[in-house]
Amino acid sequence: MKTLNTLALAVLAIAMAGTGSVSAAVSPEEAAKLKTELTPLGGEKAGNKEGTIPAWDGGYTKVPAGYKSGQPRPDPFANEKPLLTITAANMAQYSDKLDEGQKYLLKKYADYKINVYPTHRTAAAPQWVYDETFKNATRAKLDGYAVKGAYGGPPFPIPKSGVEVMWNHALRVAPGSENWYFRSYVVDSNGSASIGTGGNNEIQRPYYIKGESPESVEKGFYFAALQSVTEPSVRAGELVIFEDKLDDTRASWQYLVGQRRVRRAPNLCCDTPNFVNSGVDFFDEPFVFFGPMDRYDWKIVGKREMYIPYNMNGFFLKSDKEVTGKHFANPEYVRWELHRVWEIEGTVRAGQRDVRARRKIYVDEDSWVAVLGDTFDGQGTLWHTTIAFPTLMYELPALYMQNMETLDLLKGSYTLTIHNDQKLHHEIVKPFPVSLYTPEGMLNKGVR
C-alpha cells in the first residue's frame, strides 16, 4: 500500500484501537487545517501525484433547472465512458485498489466487472454545516463509544481513531428530515428475485436540523426512522421505529397488524438477521454499517486509493428490473471511481460476541460515506460484502448514500435496496413531530 502524504503517515503511526476512555478534541492549530490543506469536512484538498485523483474544488453544488426534491436526480456525467473495465482477466493489475469482496466476485462470476470512470470529487455541504464541522474539531469528544459536544457536521473531521471515523460515517451529511420511498429485493442463489420489503421511511435527524445544538441532540436521538411497510401484501401495514442516540444506544419498536399492538424490539441491531431483507443480511449491515458500535474494537489501518462506487445517479434512472441482476446488481450501471478512503478494521472486543469476528470498512475521505464493507466469520472466511451507492443530492447539497446491496458470498444470495421504480425517491421535507417516533405515535399511525 502506498502512503499518500504526511497526514496519512501520522494516521498510520497512531493506528489506535477502537477507543480509549475519553478522547480529546484536536488543537485549534490542527483544526485550522480545515481552512487550508483540508476540505471543510476533512478530506485532503490536493489531488494525487499521478493526477488520477483531482484536487477538491468545492464539490458539486449545481441544482438542475426545474428539479424538485424527491424527483429522480439527473446524472451530470451521463455522457462519460469508462476509462477502464476490470474483469477476472486483468484484476491482478488493479489488486491494490480493490477490496476483498470485489476480488471474490471477479473470481467467482465471469460476468462480474468493474467499470471505472473519471474521478469527480463532488462531495459538498451547506455553509452552516462547514461552520459546525469546524467547531466540532475542537469541541467534540469521545467518552467510551459515546459522542459528546458534536452537532451539525462530521464530529471528527481530523480523526485519531477508528471509532471516530465510524462516527463520521454515522453522522455523515444528510437532510434533517426526509421521506425515503424504497423497495428491497431479495435474490436467491438461483437468481430468483422477490420483494423483501417495500414502503416508506420517515426519517428525522435532529443532528442536521438548523437551530438544534450539541446539548439538545444529546438529550434525544440523532437519527430516527419510522418505516411503514406497503409490500409484500402479507406484511402491509407493519411499522418499525429506530431511534439511535449519541450515547451509542438504539431504541426500537415494532407494530404488527394482526396483533394491533406496539412492542419493544430490542434485538433490531447488530448480528440479528434483518427481516426487512428476509434475513439475507444483518441489522447493522444496511448503509455498510448501521447502529451501535461497541461490539468492536475499531482501528485505522491507513488511507489508500481505491476504486469505489461514486456519483451513482445514473443507476437510479434505470428500472428495478434493469438493475437487478441474477447474482448481483447489474454491473453495467454501477459507476466506480478512484478515490482516497480510510480503511477501518473492526474486531470483536473482549467480552462481546458477534457472528462476524472481523470486518473491514472503507470510508470516503471527502464525504465520510462508508462505501464498501466486508465481514468475516469466526474461521476468517469472507462472508458478506456490502456495496453502497452514493448519489448527488443537489438540493442539500451532499454526496448522499441511502441505497446499497449486500451479498452473502457463502450462500450466493443478495439483497438490493433501491428506489428506482418509486414515484418519489428521497424527498427533503419539513421536520416531523417528535411524537411520531414514540410508541403512542406509532400506534396512532397503525390503527388509522
124 shares a domain with 108: no
106 shares a domain with 242: no
Residue 3's pLDDT band, with cuts at 50, 70 and 90, is very low
Low-confidence winner among 2-11, 316-325, 418-427 (lowest mean pLDDT): 2-11
Q: Hey, which bits of 140-213 come out as E strands? A: 141-143, 146-148, 177-187, 193-204
388 lies in some domain: no
pLDDT of amino acid 447:
61
231 shares a domain with 147: yes
294 shares a domain with 200: yes
271 lies in some domain: yes
Residue 430 pLDDT exceeds 90: yes
214 shares a domain with 100: no
Q: How far is CA 276 from the centre of its chain?
A: 17
**Domain of 211: which CATH number?**
2.50.20.10
pLDDT of amino acid 1:
44
Q: How far is CA 439 from the centre of its chain?
A: 27
126 shares a domain with 100: no
Last residue of a domain, one of 71, 96, 117: 117
Domain with 284 in it: 6-59+118-299+340-382+398-446
pLDDT above 90 covers what percent of the chain?
91
Residue 10 pLDDT exceeds 60: no
Number of domains in the chain: 2
pLDDT of amino acid 79:
98
266 shares a domain with 215: yes
Q: Hey, which bits of 34-124 come out as E strands? A: 84-86, 114-116
Cell readout for 79 is 455522457
Rounded distance between C-alpha atoms, residue 324 and residue 416, angstroms: 8
pLDDT of amino acid 261:
87
Higher-confidence residue: 36 or 445? 36
pLDDT of amino acid 352:
97
101 shares a domain with 32: no
Rounded distance between C-alpha atoms, residue 273 and residue 267, angstroms: 9
Contact, 217 vs 206, CB < 8 A? Answer: yes
pLDDT of amino acid 239:
96
264 shares a domain with 218: yes
Cell readout for 440 is 403512542
166 shares a domain with 262: yes
366 lies in some domain: yes
Contact, 405 vs 157, CB < 8 A? Answer: no
Rounded distance between C-alpha atoms, residue 396 and residue 382, angstroms: 37
107 shares a domain with 28: no
pLDDT of amino acid 240:
97
Rounded distance between C-alpha atoms, residue 165 and residue 275, angstroms: 28
211 shares a domain with 243: yes
Residue 21's pLDDT band, with cuts at 50, 70 and 90, is low
324 lies in some domain: no
Name the average pLDDT for the chain.
94
40 lies in some domain: yes
The tens digit of pLDDT for each residue in 351-397 reads 999 999 999 999 999 999 999 999 999 999 999 999 999 999 999 99
Q: How far is CA 63 from the centre of its chain?
A: 23
325 lies in some domain: no
73 lies in some domain: no
Average pLDDT over residues 178-205: 97
Contact, 393 vs 129, CB < 8 A? Answer: no
Residue 7 pLDDT exceeds 80: no
pLDDT of amino acid 39:
98
Residue 448 pLDDT exceeds 60: no
The tens digit of pLDDT for each residue in 122-172 reads 999 999 999 999 999 999 999 999 999 999 999 999 999 999 999 999 999
309 lies in some domain: no
Residue 4 pLDDT exceeds 60: no
